[in-house]
Structure 1
Amino acid sequence: MIHNKHKLALLLCLLLVTVTAFGAPEAEYKKLEKTWTLHSYGSQEFRCNMELTLFTHTAMNGTYGESFIVYNPQYQELKINSSYTRQKDGTVIKTPDNAFVEVLPRNAADAPAYNHLKEMVVVHTGLELGATIYLDYTVTSKPGYLPEVDIFETLLQSSPVKEYTLTIVTPADKELAFTLAGNKTKPSVTLSNGMRTTAWTLRNLPAASRAPFVSVANGDVPFLAATTYATEGDALATLFKQFNPVGDMQLTTLAESLTEGITKDEDRLKAILEYTTNHIANNTLTLEQTGYRLRPAYEIVNTAYGTEAEKANLLAGLLGGAGFKAEPMATYQAHADKGLALKAIDQLFVSCMVNGDLYVFSTYSTRRPQTVNFDRTPLFSLKDGKPIAIAVPKDYQIKSDISLTFKDGKVVTSVKESVGNALMPYFTTGNSESNNTAPLKVQDGYATVVLPDAAYGFSHQPYGYLNSQRKENILLPRQVNEVYTYTVECPDNMELRTPEANRTIRNAAGSLTLSVKKSGKTATVTRSLELSKQLYTPAEYTALRQLLTEWSDVNGKTLLFEVH
């Protein structure tokens, strides 16, 4: 008996060791410090200092083998204060000169106007399990390049952080607005030599979640937003004053050329939107990487590419040149009572009201933008900085009546589909009819047919393959209301062997129906899914996953036939 007890204790110890080993992080930040300083004469400094200990080969050879620092050498100076590795036995390996490699940032590669940007790649050397990387650098910006403090930082890193210090140093007469979301730590505020230092010291932060679809937009990712802009309007005005003025003759001439011979307003809008979307390439440089600057619209036309802000300027200018009243707008990544400025911008849009209809255009697609956060993080006008209330589109219905018939060894599919406007590109009707003929593949006297559904339906989204557990909110891109009714006509030489079914699930997340009914040689199959909201909490996740997993299961939309 005692012998068995010892065996059990040993087994439990081994299990504990196994769980601990597999649950351990790849690495850990012993210390992480970020400091933003705005000097009274206008220069700014950003300093980052980290101590990162490596625990796994993945961390050593992949995740943390290099550090990347993007800066603009025309206005900024990068200084590496120190860079070295302390190995497990205490040996210090200083980063050699040839391990500092300057390259062009990837998203500037196809943008000659931004080829002056630099990305410093710091290749960490002397790595081994248990080694600690030390990196301390400062980026100093010339006066006027960054006019105000503008911070939007998510707090969780890819590995746990033992101590994370965030410090903002500003002139004492400069008001600092800030929000620390998702963390209750209070800042310390000190005054010295005419400067105010506001600092937070956060301890024992967990690693950021690696679950899919986790973002600050979900509402549960902690972040710091801070700025010395007086209001959102003042921040947005720094962008708007760079937009081409109303009545710019070059844009008016181009708009007239694009809409020549077109009399219907909707068709004129379509021509301008298709030009900015399909003929002007998208560049993914962020506002921060371009120093919150944009080139004038005529340069965008001449070079045929632009950042999101540059394309918003062009689109607004062309719409204005065509006689429409256009307004550029921005929406933020998250809601915060204070501290939001330009770095927190999520997306830029251009709106105009035509014949009583409000059009909200993105700069990169002719489709209606997914207004997923407009109810929680509203649109703000670049012109006056005020929030704009717009009706969030709710018409996401997909209703399809589909018939399947069989003839001469082929399956013929006829579809009549009605799709809500919120899912369709602008200027496109949601009603359509189509027919398709495909070979019927028969093997050993049996054939399977996968029931078709809308290509933009939710079964084609990746949400049906999520983990069984989740600790974070999940924000779906839209609500869901899909109904597919299939009428299947079998010829004399075929029998539907899929059994009759009538499965309905109603839970806290929504509802789902899967049914198969037979009547002689005719079968009626119904598939429907309804999700009436977009944001689901961890408490609601199990119910949501049940619906999405069932909806995405290919077996739920595959019919089995016996062929004689």
Structure 2
Amino acid sequence: MIQNKHKLAFLLCLLLMATTAFGASEAEYKKLAKTWTLNADGSQEFRYNMELTLFTHTAMNGTYGESFIVYNPQYQELKINSSYTRQKDGTIIKTPDNAFVEVLPRNAADAPAYNHLKEMVVVHTGLELGATIYLDYTVTSKPGYLPEVDIFEELLQSSPVKEYTLTIVTPETKELAYTLANNPAKASVKQADGTCTTNWTLRNLPASSRAPFVSVRNGDVPFLAATTYVSEGEALATLFKQFNPSGDPQLTTLAESLTEGKDKDEDKLKAILEYTTLHIGGSMLTLDQTGYHLRPADAVINTAYGTEAEKANLLAGLLDGAGFKAEPMVTYQAHADKGLALKAVDQLLVSCMVNGELYLFSTYSTRRPQTGNFDRTPLFSLQTGKPVAVAVPQDYRIKSDITVSFKEGKVTTFTKESVGKALMPYFKTGNGENNQVVPLKVENGYATISLPDAEYGFSHLPYGYLNSKRKENLLIPRPVSEVYTYTIECPENMELRTPRMYKAISNTAGKLSIIVKKEGRTATVTRSLELSKQLYTPAEYKDLRQLLTEWSDVNGKTLLFSVQ
């Protein structure tokens, strides 16, 4: 018995040691190296090399059981330099031939024009706890397929990295512009034999955060942006020159057909936007996956689908064909002083000024695109390649007056609502009235009702259910200004049992108030929330979370009644 206790204690100690050593991560990159080379003839090479040690069954059987390499065999060649697993006892297990499986990339599944793309799935074999995966491959691009070096890399991986090497090799005649953000590493630059080698060595990088809403847009995620394009304008010009020219006869004819019989400019805009967003399917292929190439508008029309860039070309051409002055634009994923090019593009949009109002159209939705973060990542004109200051709607207010009454076992809710233009889809007013009647459910002499709020309201977003602590910035999609006033008329057989309340919170993040009053047979509830900015630092997060959890709390939106 004593011996069994000793064994149990020993096992618990081992478990504690394992938890201490590996509990924070599933795996660890011993080495990770990426090298981009631009040759004098215009060809490019990308080489990837990793050494990854596995610590958990999840890492072994799920997270890192396979590696994925997307490439275009028409212009690119993939070479696996080495692929094997070193088991914990030192045994080498080479990846067998049947563990290299070529498939169609998921993003190309609904895009027949891009079905020539390939994704090499490398199935790692011989895996066990403590094993290390070694993978080394090179993708070589033919001259002209990729015009310049164009890099935008988030640096944190899903597991910690002991040593991360980033290398860019360019001809001496090419100037490299770059920004390494949120990491103190300095570039090492060496010139020899007509080439310039720029290198960064990063050490002991933590795993990327698993908290929700973490991205480079937040401003605190490390990334590398680098390019040999002279400027953003030169990079955007390579995209814009593929757009259909102004006055394209086919697009003009289609635009005239779509707007036939419509006299108002707003009706014409609506018809063109609905055709592009609802009748032309969207492919999720990114710019770099298509080699920064796009099909002309007639191919998009005939196949009824397109990438974001292709749909932007179509939308701009149709607007132009209908007599509007349209301008394609882009936003970037992050702010960087230097090094932004096409890989860093976040959205392609189309702007159009009509009757003194600026319309900024997305290619995927009739809703207004999120534009509140343009102070950090401004719009760039695809035509001029320069940043554009636009006065987009900033009215995010929601004001609702709601009357609740009870009659014959039913609850009637009458809502008079005013919603700011920035929250509404284009061509739809934000002012409206709504009347809803539902049965009143009574159990054991009590009934509850939920106070309704606007479907566009912030309580319908998941920000009210975040963790209590956060190490990263939080960027919410928009400012918030919401006020709901509820007037509840109680009949003689009902009594409001929710106690009177006056809750007001004002802190560095914003303001909130919840007020419950009762006078005679009438009760009044007022709920208001104001968040005046979008970006919150970890120091401000506690105050923000206090407001959002209070705002989303179901108890603050539920009233209890006794019923006789």
Rounded to whole Å, the distance in 2 between the matches of 1:450 and 1:15 is 48
Rounded to whole Å, the distance in 2 between the matches of 1:513 and 1:168 is 54
Q: Kindly provide the CA deviation profile for residues 499-524 of structure 1, in whole angstroms up to 9, marking residues without a partner as x.
A: 11010000000010111100111100
Query: Aligned-pair distance for 1:31?
Result: 0.2
Q: Which blocks of at least 5 consecutive residues in structure 1 are unaligned?
A: 1-9
2:131 equivalent to 1:131? yes
Rounded to whole Å, the distance in 2 between the matches of 1:483 and 1:24 is 43
Rounded to whole Å, the distance in 1 between the matches of 2:430 and 2:273 is 19
Which residue is 1:357 aligned to?
A: 357
| AA matched with 1:426 | Y
Rounded to whole Å, the distance in 2 between the matches of 1:461 and 1:429 is 22
Which residue is 2:507 aligned to?
A: 507
2:337 counterpart SS class = coil
Query: Aligned-pair distance for 1:24?
Result: 2.6
2:367 equivalent to 1:334? no
Rounded to whole Å, the distance in 2 between the matches of 1:85 and 1:17 is 25
**Pairing of 1:107-256 with structure 2 (within 5 A):** 107-256=107-256
1:447 counterpart SS class = strand
Q: Kindly provide the CA deviation profile for residues 123-145 of structure 1, in whole angstroms up to 9, marking residues without a partner as x.
A: 11111110000000000001100
Percent of aligned positions that are identical: 81
| AA matched with 2:288 | E
2:342 counterpart SS class = coil
Query: Aligned-pair distance for 1:392?
Result: 4.0
Inter-CA distance 461–298: structure 2 relative to 1 (3 Å threshold): same
1:272 counterpart SS class = helix
Query: Aligned-pair distance for 1:266?
Result: 1.1
Query: Aligned-pair distance for 1:393?
Result: 2.7
Query: Aligned-pair distance for 1:407?
Result: 1.1
1:274 counterpart SS class = helix
1:374 and 1:392 in contact (8 A); partners too: no
2:532 equivalent to 1:537? no
Query: Aligned-pair distance for 1:416?
Result: 0.2
Which residue is 1:428 aligned to?
A: 428
| AA matched with 1:90 | G
Inter-CA distance 30–484: structure 2 relative to 1 (3 Å threshold): same
Query: Aligned-pair distance for 1:107?
Result: 1.1
Inter-CA distance 35–14: structure 2 relative to 1 (3 Å threshold): closer
| AA matched with 1:387 | P
| AA matched with 1:344 | A
Query: Aligned-pair distance for 1:192?
Result: 1.6
1:214 counterpart SS class = coil
1:443 counterpart SS class = coil
Which residue is 2:5 aligned to?
A: none
Rounded to whole Å, the distance in 2 between the matches of 1:305 and 1:356 is 32
1:315 counterpart SS class = helix
TM-score (norm 1): 0.97
Rounded to whole Å, the distance in 1 between the matches of 2:196 and 2:18 is 49
2:343 counterpart SS class = coil
Rounded to whole Å, the distance in 2 between the matches of 1:14 and 1:511 is 50
Rounded to whole Å, the distance in 2 between the matches of 1:13 and 1:164 is 33
Which residue is 1:447 aligned to?
A: 447
Which residue is 1:6 aligned to?
A: none
Inter-CA distance 96–22: structure 2 relative to 1 (3 Å threshold): closer
RMSD after superposition = 1.4
**Pairing of 1:486-505 with structure 2 (within 5 A):** 486-505=486-505
Rounded to whole Å, the distance in 2 between the matches of 1:437 and 1:67 is 55
Query: Aligned-pair distance for 1:19?
Result: 6.6
Q: Kindly provide the CA deviation profile for residues 392-422 of structure 1, in whole angstroms up to 9, marking residues without a partner as x.
A: 4320000000011111111111000000000
Rounded to whole Å, the distance in 2 between the matches of 1:244 and 1:39 is 31
| AA matched with 2:50 | M
2:492 counterpart SS class = coil
| AA matched with 1:221 | V
2:358 and 2:391 in contact (8 A); partners too: no
Rounded to whole Å, the distance in 2 between the matches of 1:498 and 1:187 is 63
Rounded to whole Å, the distance in 1 between the matches of 2:66 and 2:306 is 29
| AA matched with 1:519 | E
| AA matched with 1:382 | L
Which residue is 1:468 aligned to?
A: 468
1:312 counterpart SS class = helix
Q: Structure 1 residues 461-470 or 373-382, which shifts more?
A: 373-382
Q: Which blocks of at least 5 consecutive residues in structure 2 are unaligned?
A: 1-9
2:145 and 2:291 in contact (8 A); partners too: yes
Rounded to whole Å, the distance in 2 between the matches of 1:416 and 1:215 is 38
Query: Aligned-pair distance for 1:15?
Result: 11
2:97 equivalent to 1:101? no
**Pairing of 1:18-33 with structure 2 (within 5 A):** 20=20, 23-33=23-33
Query: Aligned-pair distance for 1:23?
Result: 4.0
Query: Aligned-pair distance for 1:529?
Result: 0.4
Query: Aligned-pair distance for 1:191?
Result: 1.3
1:93 counterpart SS class = strand
Which residue is 1:59 aligned to?
A: 59
Query: Aligned-pair distance for 1:17?
Result: 4.8
Q: Kindly provide the CA deviation profile for residues 474-528 of structure 1, in whole angstroms up to 9, marking residues without a partner as x.
A: 0000000000000001111111111110100000000101111001111000111
Which residue is 1:559 aligned to?
A: 559
Query: Aligned-pair distance for 1:193?
Result: 1.3
Rounded to whole Å, the distance in 2 between the matches of 1:496 and 1:526 is 15
| AA matched with 1:302 | N
2:268 equivalent to 1:268? yes
Query: Aligned-pair distance for 1:456?
Result: 1.3
| AA matched with 2:244 | N
Which residue is 1:7 aligned to?
A: none
1:107 counterpart SS class = helix
1:442 counterpart SS class = coil
1:375 and 1:392 in contact (8 A); partners too: no
Which residue is 2:524 aligned to?
A: 524
Q: Kindly provide the CA deviation profile for residues 133-178 of structure 1, in whole angstroms up to 9, marking residues without a partner as x.
A: 0000000001100010000001110000000000000001111100
Query: Aligned-pair distance for 1:328?
Result: 0.3
Which residue is 1:3 aligned to?
A: none
Rounded to whole Å, the distance in 2 between the matches of 1:433 and 1:330 is 37
Rounded to whole Å, the distance in 2 between the matches of 1:237 and 1:269 is 26
Q: Kindly provide the CA deviation profile for residues 325-382 of structure 1, in whole angstroms up to 9, marking residues without a partner as x.
A: 1000001011111100000001011001111111111111111110132111111111
Rounded to whole Å, the distance in 1 between the matches of 2:222 and 2:257 is 49
Which residue is 1:309 aligned to?
A: 309
Rounded to whole Å, the distance in 2 between the matches of 1:526 and 1:517 is 9
| AA matched with 1:330 | V
Rounded to whole Å, the distance in 1 between the matches of 2:440 and 2:59 is 50
